[in-house]
Amino acid sequence: MMQLFITVTFLITAVLGSGSLARDISSLSKWLKNSGVQIHEKIKWKDNGLNDYGLVLTSSVPVGTVLLKVPRTLVLDSQVIKESFKALEADKFHVHEENYWIVWRLYQLKCSSGGNASFAPWINAMPQAFETFTKDEINCLPFYARYAAEYQEAKFASFCNAAAVMKDDDCVFDPANSDHVALLKWAFNAVWKTNPSENAKIIKQTSELVPLGDMFNHRDPSNVQMIPEDSDYVTFAYKGDDDNDDEDNSTNEKDIFISYGQPSNPHRFLVIFKFAPRAEYMPKLWSHLSYSPTNPYASDFDGMVFDSRTGNVSQTVWDAILWELSEPPSQELYLSFRDKNLMSHKGLLEEVLLNHINQQLEELATCREKISMLDSGSAPNLDIIRQHNDFLTEVFTKVKNNPDNWTMMR
């Protein structure tokens, strides 16, 4: 079937939202049209309410159909931005230098009055306000989520150090200026995370922020992916869903999803993208077992999972536990050992895992007690923190209650 493209023509005729928090989607639509962005004719905006916008297919398209092509001249690319600044002291970064450049470029576009007006429609269509975690909220998070939140704070501090030595005549950053800090924090949040009602901003593995591509929501598995079709464009193609992808007679709208990476890590999605997981979007949950990096099974993050719907334990989890207990000198010897001794050790493996599950549930119960003492007036992220805890508690409880996991402990 021929892949049909049109220059972007869908327009929303008003600035939706209210006050300074409004996202100017109408101007964004016009800007996309005038900037050469190509979009498939079956794509349209989806208004999810509360200043939240996404993209949908109005009907089915064949797998492999190119849905969106964005000229590279519009893309914020870390490497390109970095090359335009030679005076920055690299030791000011300490961590995450590459991703810094997109944050700085957004800050520059937002504050500079010279030569950047052409990007204003895109910038103004981004979320204009974000809720950050308070100290009391962070204290209510389980260990890995708390670590992620504190890590983000340290990362922003590192970015402030780097911004303070930027040599830019049009746009300076003074860490003692609260307005400058607030504006850089906006850029940091616009790149790295979103509030509960907003679509997350996407940073690709190639460190690019792509207009309109940053409005895809996350799901695992995704139904859209970037493809290397044309070096002058960033191209997104439809990779298919589980249901009737080859039929083109459906009249039902289909939400478009892309993967933000680490699809089984709920703490990353809470802290960076500001939404709590559900089994629908996170069908696999990381087991939270942390072993030595020399353990090849434990290093398989995507394999170290529980099924969020059933509580089934992956074989990788069992292998990681057995490897840790047996400490084999090589994987070849491990496989030989496993084949001969798995059943005789199964009871011990189950005991180790059950103790781990109970520890996770105890930690979550302690966190729930702290959550119950929060007040929504002073805890803006209370709802998603509670949902995050509920999701983890539900999945770990499913693992504990699934009899298939405990064949030797019945």
Please give the domain boundaries of the chain with CATH numbers for all domains: 5-75+204-258 (2.170.270), 76-192 (no CATH), 276-405 (no CATH)
Query: In whole angstroms, what is the distance from residue 239 CA to residue 221 CA?
Result: 10
DSSP 8-state code for residue 200: P
Residues, the chain:
410
Task: For residue range 250-274, list pLDDT tens digits in order.
Answer: 447 888 888 777 889 999 989 988 8
* Single pTM value for the model: 0.82
**The pLDDT of residue 205:** 40
Q: Give residue for tokens 């009871």.
A: 347
Q: Give the DSSP H/E element, type plus range, for residue 11.
A: none
**The pLDDT of residue 407:** 87
The mean predicted confidence, pLDDT, of the chain is 83
Query: In whole angstroms, what is the distance from residue 219 CA to residue 224 CA?
Result: 10
Q: Give residue for tokens 């119960």.
A: 365
DSSP 8-state code for residue 313: B
| Mean per-residue pLDDT, 93-119 | 74
**The pLDDT of residue 219:** 78
Q: Which two tokens stand for residue 347?
A: 């009871």
| Mean per-residue pLDDT, 369-382 | 94
Cis omega before residue 221 (within 30°)? yes
Asked if residue 409 lies in contact with residue 346, where contact means CB atoms within 8 angstroms, the answer is no
**The pLDDT of residue 5:** 45
